[in-house]
C-alpha cells in the first residue's frame, strides 16, 4: 500500500489507523475517507488546463504584472511574486485565456513574507468586467468568500460577502507553509477544500461563466507569494 498522510496536519498514518475506506489521524484527530487515487476526496476528473510554473510560457494562460513574477524549477516548480500594496486593490498574477463555467480548480499556495494578519491570496472565478466570485486565504489560516456585482449607475464593481473571514484548522498558519486550495464549481453549488478537508459548501447563482484568476492582496505591507501545481479539471461525476 502507498504511504498515506493526513490531509489536515500532514502526519504519516500507520496502517493500523486505516479501517476499510476510513482513516483516522492519531495526531490531530481528523477522520477522512481514503480516495481511490490517494488524492483528496472527491476523486478528480480529467485535466482541462494546467500550469506547472516551470517558465512563463503557459498556453491557455495570460500573465499579469510580469515584472513582479519569477519562475523557479524544482520539486515543485513555483511561480513567485512580491507586491507593494495599493489601497483597496488586489493584484492579478494569472488569468485563463478562455471562459469557464463548471470546473474543479486546485493550487498550492505559500506565503513568503508580509504582515501576518493582512497577507492573503486566492482565486477569482467566473470573473468578468461585470463581476464574479472571490475566494481568499490568509496567512493566519482563515478564509473569506464573496461576490462582485456591477453598480450600473456608478459603473464600478461592488463586493458583497458570502462567507465572512473564518479560521479553519486544515489551513497551515504562517509563512513558508504549503496549503493546497481546491474549489469545485458545479452550477450553483460550490465546495471549498483545504489540504484535502472540506471547509465550506454553499450555493450561489449570480454568475455561471467567466475567467479563472490567481490573485494576491498584500493589503498593508509588501507581501510575497508562491504558487505551484495549478490544475483546472472536469467536475467529478458520481
Note the pLDDT tens digit of each residue in 177-212.
999 999 999 999 999 999 888 999 999 999 999 999
What is the rounded CA–CA span in Å between residue 101 and residue 90? Answer: 23
Domains of the chain by residue range: 1-34, 44-233
Contact 50, 232 (CB under 8 A): yes
Give the span between the Cα atoms of 165 and 161, in whole angstroms: 9
162-175 pLDDT, tens digit per residue, is 999 999 999 999 99
Report the C-alpha gap between 200 and 94 in whole angstroms.
24
Q: Which residues of 105-114 are buried (b: 16+ CB within 10 A; e: fewer)?
A: bbbbbbbbbb
**Secondary structure class of 169 (helix, strand, coil):** coil
pLDDT tens per residue across span 90-100? 999 999 999 99
The position carrying cell 495599493 is 86
Give tens-digit pLDDT for 213-230: 999 999 889 999 999 999
Q: Evaluate if residue 132 carries a pLDDT over 70.
A: yes
Of 53, 48, 186, nearest in space to 109 by CA: 53
- What is the full DSSP assignment across 73-115? -SSS-EEEEEE--BTTB-EEEEEESS-BSSEEEEEEEEEEES-
Reply yes or no on whether the pLDDT at 46 is more than 70.
yes
Which CATH fold topology does 44-233 show?
Answer: Jelly Rolls (2.60.120)
- Per-residue confidence at 6, pLDDT binned at 50, 70, 90? low
Q: What is the pLDDT of residue 43?
A: 74
Q: Which residues of 118-134 are buried (b: 16+ CB within 10 A; e: fewer)?
A: bbbbbbbbbbeeebbbb
Strand, coil or helix: 47:
strand
Quick count: other Cβ atoms within 10 Å of Cβ 141? Answer: 18
Work out the average pLDDT over 139-161: 94
Is pLDDT above 60 for 38? no
3-state class of 17 per DSSP?
A: helix
Whether residue 1 has pLDDT greater than 60 = no
> Nearest to residue 127, comparing CAs of 217, 233, 212, 185?
212
Residue-level pLDDT at 60: 95
**Mean predicted lDDT score pLDDT of the chain:** 88
* Contact present, 106 and 231 (Cβ < 8 Å): yes
Work out the percent of the chain whose per-residue pLDDT is above 90.
72
Q: How confident is the model at residue 39 (pLDDT cuts 50, 70, 90)?
A: very low
Lowest mean pLDDT among 18-22, 120-124, 199-203: 18-22
The model's pTM: 0.83
Position 4 scores a pLDDT of 65
Cell of 157: 464593481
Amino acid at each position: 500500500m502507498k504511504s498515506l498522510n493526513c490531509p489536515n496536519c500532514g502526519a504519516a498514518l500507520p496502517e493500523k489507523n486505516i479501517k476499510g475506506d476510513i482513516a483516522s489521524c492519531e495526531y490531530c484527530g481528523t477522520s477522512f475517507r481514503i480516495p481511490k487515487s490517494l488524492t483528496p476526496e472527491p476523486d478528480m476528473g480529467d485535466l482541462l488546463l494546467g500550469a506547472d510554473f516551470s517558465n512563463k510560457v503557459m498556453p491557455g494562460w495570460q500573465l499579469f504584472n510580469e515584472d513582479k513574477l519569477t519562475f523557479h524549477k524544482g520539486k515543485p516548480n513555483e511561480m513567485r511574486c512580491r507586491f507593494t500594496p495599493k489601497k483597496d486593490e488586489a493584484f492579478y498574477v494569472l488569468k485563463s485565456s478562455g471562459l469557464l463555467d463548471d470546473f474543479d480548480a486546485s493550487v498550492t499556495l505559500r506565503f513568503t513574507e508580509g504582515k501576518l494578519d493582512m497577507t492573503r491570496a486566492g482565486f477569482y472565478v467566473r470573473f468578468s468586467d461585470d463581476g464574479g466570485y472571490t475566494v481568499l486565504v490568509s496567512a493566519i489560516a482563515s478564509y473569506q468568500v464573496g461576490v462582485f456585482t456591477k453598480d450600473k449607475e456608478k459603473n464600478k464593481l461592488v463586493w458583497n460577502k458570502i462567507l465572512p473571514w473564518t479560521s479553519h484548522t486544515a489551513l497551515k498558519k504562517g509563512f513558508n507553509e504549503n496549503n493546497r486550495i481546491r474549489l469545485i464549481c458545479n452550477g450553483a453549488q460550490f465546495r471549498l477544500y483545504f489540504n484535502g478537508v472540506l471547509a465550506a459548501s454553499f450555493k450561489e447563482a449570480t454568475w455561471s461563466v467567466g475567467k479563472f484568476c490567481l490573485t494576491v492582496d498584500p493589503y498593508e505591507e509588501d507581501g510575497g507569494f508562491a504558487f505551484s501545481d495549478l490544475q483546472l479539471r472536469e467536475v467529478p461525476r458520481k
